[in-house]
A and B are shown apart, each in its own frame.
Chain A
């Protein structure tokens, strides 16, 4: 049974830039799914459409049997997300950020208290729980974001480059926890990463996106044999080529911004 069904998904910014170009894929319930691709390939844009933050230009999405564009509230009940870029409130303490999240996701008070303590200890921030987040280092903020993402137990957990900037200890720790959640509670995990070795080890199935199109998908083994390579990294490079991509964030953002300043949404 599929928990995510994406068919012919398209996202255009303005008339020129096609960020996601006719993408289709499925994710099965309870699966650990990796969504890979070079910078600017369309990963984050796809995740934003899956998580109701952006409206698609074309195509359809079913997430836990709901349409993110039309049934946003139902969809928001089904997932949790750890964003690629920071989304903490710097003026609140670590504990308050967790508490805020717990209340928004209506985690009952007793469970909330218990889980916040457990998770903050887990990411080793319990003794800093009353410090303002603005005093934290980059790595500490990242750990807090992950702890926060795990506070409620959704049906699907989106992790957009969750391990970026984490040391191997924390990374390992985090994946063990996630795998346990996956087996115990059947939570579907959808993640992106640039560490191919991580995708190879963790993911049950992988889709590779480039220039807004899905160019390969299958189990890690299938991808390696399709490409005829020993490692996933080599397979990935043979699918996507070796040219370094423009970090398209800046250009894309400013295009969107201009469009929004002068046109009504």
Chain B
């Protein structure tokens, strides 16, 4: 237990101390929210889909969470390069606990990022349909964060250095974000895109945020939570398996 706690605490301390990273990682969501939100707003309205900012904000929360989570999970590569990973790997504690501590820490950080984006969206004019649902939405953020931090950990356990990072961002994270329905409704899509969107775990995350924040849902909240829960458990298992096999 104390192992999990100290690793969680370490992730948090690193996050709080890197102010430039916090501010830097907010640039992208703000840009998306303002340019897309205000830019496509009128067209979306004319197409009879209602307020685009309201539709988009949950998607941008999802975007900020997936990027922060994957990045947190992949911090293992930094630790490997700076040598700190060895310090944790030779310690007499189970690697499963180390992985869980790190993942919880990364997920907490990503949830914070999601909350900050939510606040920014509110400032930009977004209103949740019921404020009482916001705590539920935050729990949902934590679940989605856990899922993607575990995925980042699994991927990072297989990589030796940062050279593979760009590959992961461009061929894994970007497609998951763009095809998740974060930016457009999932109704009436071409079959291929529809299938990808159904495989993409972020689709269920964004859909869950919409269910809780704006009371619209494509899959239904129960299915969202069910699928996210199962995938998170699977990624945690896969991640801890790969992590336990790391050799330095």
A interface residues, Cβ below 8 angstroms from B: 48, 51-55, 73, 76-77, 79, 81, 83, 85-92, 96, 99-101, 103-106, 132, 256-257, 260-261, 265
Residue of A nearest to B5 (CB): A103
Residue of A nearest to B242 (CB): A265
Contact of B92 with A54 in the complex, beta carbons under 8 Å:
no
A54, A55, A88: the one contacting B84 at CB < 8 Å is A88
Bound-complex Cα distance A81 to B83 (A): 13
B88, B90, B93, B161: the one contacting A51 at CB < 8 Å is B90
A54, A92, A96, A104: the one contacting B247 at CB < 8 Å is A54
Residue of A nearest to B89 (CB): A53
Tell me, yes or no, whether B19 is within 8 Å of chain A by CB: no
Chain A hits for B248, CB < 8 A: 48, 53-54
Most buried by B among A53, A85, A256: A53
Query: Residues 1-30 of chain B: 1 if any A CB is under 8 Å from the residue's CB, otherwise 0?
Result: 011011000100110011000000000000
Contact of A265 with B245 in the complex, beta carbons under 8 Å:
yes
Contact of A53 with B3 in the complex, beta carbons under 8 Å:
no
Also in contact, A81 and B10, with CB within 8 A (given A90-B82, A91-B17): no
Bound-complex Cα distance A113 to B151 (A): 36
Bound-complex Cα distance A91 to B204 (A): 35
Chain A hits for B18, CB < 8 A: 91
Min CB–CB distance A70 → chain B (angstroms): 13
Bound-complex Cα distance A91 to B88 (A): 15
Bound-complex Cα distance A132 to B13 (A): 12
Min CB–CB distance B99 → chain A (angstroms): 14
Tell me, yes or no, whether B123 is within 8 Å of chain A by CB: no
Bound-complex Cα distance A16 to B91 (A): 32
Bound-complex Cα distance A243 to B18 (A): 47
Chain A hits for B91, CB < 8 A: 76, 101, 104-105
Also in contact, A73 and B94, with CB within 8 A (given A53-B89, A87-B87, A100-B10): yes
Contact of B92 with A87 in the complex, beta carbons under 8 Å:
no
